[in-house]
Amino acid sequence: MKVALVYDRVNKWGGAERVLLALHELFPNAPLFTSVYHPQKAGWAKVFNVKTSFLQHFPLASSKHELFPLLMPAAFESFSFDDYDLIVSVTSESAKGIITKPKTKHISYCLTPTRYLWSGHEEYFHNKFFKTIATPAIRSLRAWDKIAAHRPDKFVAISKEVQSRIKKYYGKESVVIYPPLTLNSKFEIRNTKQVQNTKSKKEQGEYFLVVSRFVPYKRIDLAIQACNELKLPLKIIGSGAEEDKLKSLAGPTIEFVGKVTDKELSDYYRDCKALLFPGVEDFGLAVVEAQHFGRPVIAFRGGGALETILAGKTGLFFDAQTKESLMSALRDFDKFTFDKNALIQQAGKFSAGKFKEDFLSVVNKMF
């Protein structure tokens, strides 16, 4: 069986990219089709034969893809998949809109229906003037997006949250296969000498942690404001467009760590008091990763976190996306005791092995 993978863009690192690497293990010879590719920002993609669209030749497109939303549909419709038996698109935007012939099966692993068109539209277009001038483009993209949603033969959602959005916005049924926990287990046993020589590390449980891209809907600002107010130590791992804004909010107890290796990330998880998760996520792989290392999560009660956290056993929820609500949860946190084994057991429900088994089951039913 000849397989190809398709992804919206290859220019960052995050949970979706870990999914692609898991799919690469299932289909090691499958090329990766994408709109644009930035090798310096996507070193993980070196294992793939990456095939780009005509957008790759546009100035700035590989690093500023958001400037070209109206060209994304054409970029994916330009690919030919006549020689393939199976296409797997991993997408939160336009990759599901590829065109295939009847003999080629297409499974779309949906990260979410296009956020800026649907569930997150108001967040992206909170400026009334910008919203007004963008309306014709949004109307056109929404129309295409609904057409594109009827091209895959099968939708697979990353969570029940996304499954409900697929039904709401596209009118399509889907099955749920949770993303895989792939943070390498070889990092779980640390070298004692390395730990002793790492002066920046505090004793286990002395700081709270955020692991995230710096984009508005992640609501990292809430974590910063709450920890500022309570004078709690907070370490923030990640990068993104909002970095300068977030740093301007940070008080003396907030540390921006930047990008880290998987080895370093494992150590930060293990040494934190809890992961803070203030956004509404489609799934939220960081929540599972923290539990994998025996650390609880304080999360907003919404989105994918409702499917990955056991309230009072592997984490706590706060009920409003406000500084005050998060502060209340932080004050209550020390009243709870969390069983490390229960945390690790919960994370085990989202193993890479289960992901691969479930995904192959979907594929086998189509052939």
Q: How far apart are CA 141 and CA 155, in angstroms?
A: 20
| Per-residue model confidence as pLDDT tens digits over 351-365 | 999 999 999 999 999
How much is the pLDDT for 307? Answer: 97
Gap between the Cα atoms of 170 and 146, Å rounded: 6
Return left, alpha or beta for 106; rule: phi > 0 is left, psi -120 to 50 is alpha, else beta. beta
Query: Are 234 and 116 within one domain?
Result: no
pLDDT attached to residue 125 = 84
Q: What separation in angstroms does the CA of 289 have from each of 177, 265, 273, 343? A: 17, 10, 14, 10
Q: How confident is the model at residue 320 (pLDDT cuts 50, 70, 90)?
A: very high
Query: Which CATH number fits the domain that encloses residue 156?
Result: 3.40.50.2000
In Å, how far are 12, 36, 61, 271 from 65, measured between CA atoms?
11, 8, 5, 36
CB 281 within 8 A of CB 305: yes
When divided into structural domains, the chain yields a total of 2
Backbone angle region of 231, left / alpha / beta, with phi > 0 → left and psi within -120 to 50 → alpha: left
Note down the domain range covering 61: 3-180+351-366
185: pLDDT strictly greater than 60 = no
Q: What is the pLDDT of residue 177?
A: 98
User: Which of 24-33, 63-72, 100-109 is predicted with the least confidence, judged by mean pLDDT?
Assistant: 63-72
The answer on 127 and 196 residing in a single domain is: no
Q: Looking at residue 202, what is its pLDDT?
A: 38
Shared domain check, 342 and 229? yes
Task: Give residue 139's pLDDT.
Answer: 96
196 and 162 in a common domain: no
- In angstroms, the Cα distances linking 21 to 14, 32, 48, 179, 262 are 11, 11, 9, 11, 14
Q: pLDDT at position 128, please?
A: 83
User: What phi, psi does 304 have (nearest 5°)?
Assistant: -65, -20
Q: What percent of the chain has pLDDT over 70?
A: 94
pLDDT at 285: 95
Residue 186 pLDDT > 70, yes or no?
Answer: no
Instruction: Return the structure tokens found at 155.
Output: 């939708």
Point out which residues pair with 181 in neighbouring strands: 351
* 22 and 169 share one domain: yes
- Kindly report, residue by residue over 113-148, the tens digit of the pLDDT: 999 999 988 888 888 888 899 899 999 999 999 999
pLDDT given for residue 340 in this prediction: 95
* 194: confidence class by pLDDT, cuts 50, 70, 90: very low
Mean pLDDT of the chain: 93
Tell me, yes or no, whether 160 and 190 share the same domain: no
pLDDT of residue 184: 65
Q: What is the pLDDT of residue 131?
A: 85
Tokens for 295, please give them: 């650390």
Same domain, 217 and 323: yes
pLDDT digits (tens, 9 = 90+) for 322-354: 999 999 999 999 999 999 999 999 999 999 999
Asked if 77 and 100 count as a contact pair (C-beta separation under 8 A), the reply is: no
Find the helix or strand (DSSP H, E) in which 318 lies: strand 315-318
Confidence at 205, pLDDT banded by 50, 70, 90: confident
Summarize pLDDT for 265-284 with one digit per residue, the tens.
999 999 999 999 999 999 99
Containing 91, the helix (H) or strand (E) segment is: strand 86-91
pLDDT recorded at residue 130 = 83
Could you tell me if 278 and 146 lie in one domain? no
pLDDT at 189 over 60: no
Rounded to whole angstroms, the Cα distance separating 243 from 275 reads 19
> Domain check: are 218 and 228 in the same one?
yes
300 - beta bridge partners? Answer: 318
Helix ranges restricted to H, the chain:
15-26, 72-77, 121-124, 128-148, 160-165, 192-196, 220-230, 243-249, 262-271, 285-292, 305-308, 323-333, 340-347, 352-366
Q: Walk across the sheet containing 86-91 and list its strands.
A: 50-52, 32-34, 3-7, 86-91, 105-110, 154-157, 175-176
> pLDDT by residue (tens digit) across 51-96?
999 999 999 999 999 899 999 999 999 999 999 999 999 999 999 9
**Same structural domain, 28 and 56:** yes
Residue 99 has pLDDT above 50, yes or no: yes
On whether both 27 and 157 belong to a single domain, the answer is yes
Same domain, 85 and 161: yes
pLDDT for the residue numbered 204: 58
